[in-house]
């Protein structure tokens, strides 16, 4: 399945390497599709939003919030 502009996905932020702020998933809106297979996102944080021009897919078996998905997007799990 390919993402479409306007869809909501999960983005796992980078957190920090100290572990004080661990990676955590946040909601993100797909704002663009790039020719290299990455997507542009607007990540929705509790304190505001952040534009990202190029974010890679975490993979079919990576879950948001895991080390493998750090700095990447993933599909939201089904309800």
Residue 26: CA count within 13 A, CB half-sphere = 21
Q: What pLDDT is recorded for position 65? A: 78
Q: What pLDDT is recorded for position 44? A: 95
Distance (Å, whole) CA 42 – CA 2: 17
Q: What pLDDT is recorded for position 23? A: 83
Q: What pLDDT is recorded for position 2? A: 92
- Residue showing tokens 């990447």: 72
Report pLDDT digits (tens) over 24-45.
Answer: 899 999 999 999 999 999 999 9
Contact 22, 13 (CB under 8 A): no
Q: What pLDDT is recorded for position 21? A: 81
Which stretches of the chain drop beneath a pLDDT of 70?
none
Contact 57, 72 (CB under 8 A): yes
Distance (Å, whole) CA 56 – CA 72: 5
């Amino acid at each position: 399945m390919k993402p479409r502009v306007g869809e909501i996905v999960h983005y796992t932020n980078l957190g920090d390497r100290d572990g004080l702020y661990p990676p955590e998933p946040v909601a993100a809106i797909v704002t663009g599709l790039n020719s290299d297979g990455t997507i542009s996102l607007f990540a929705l944080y509790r304190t505001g939003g952040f534009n990202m021009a190029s974010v890679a897919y975490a993979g079919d078996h990576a879950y948001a919030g895991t080390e493998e998905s750090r700095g990447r997007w993933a599909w939201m799990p089904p309800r």
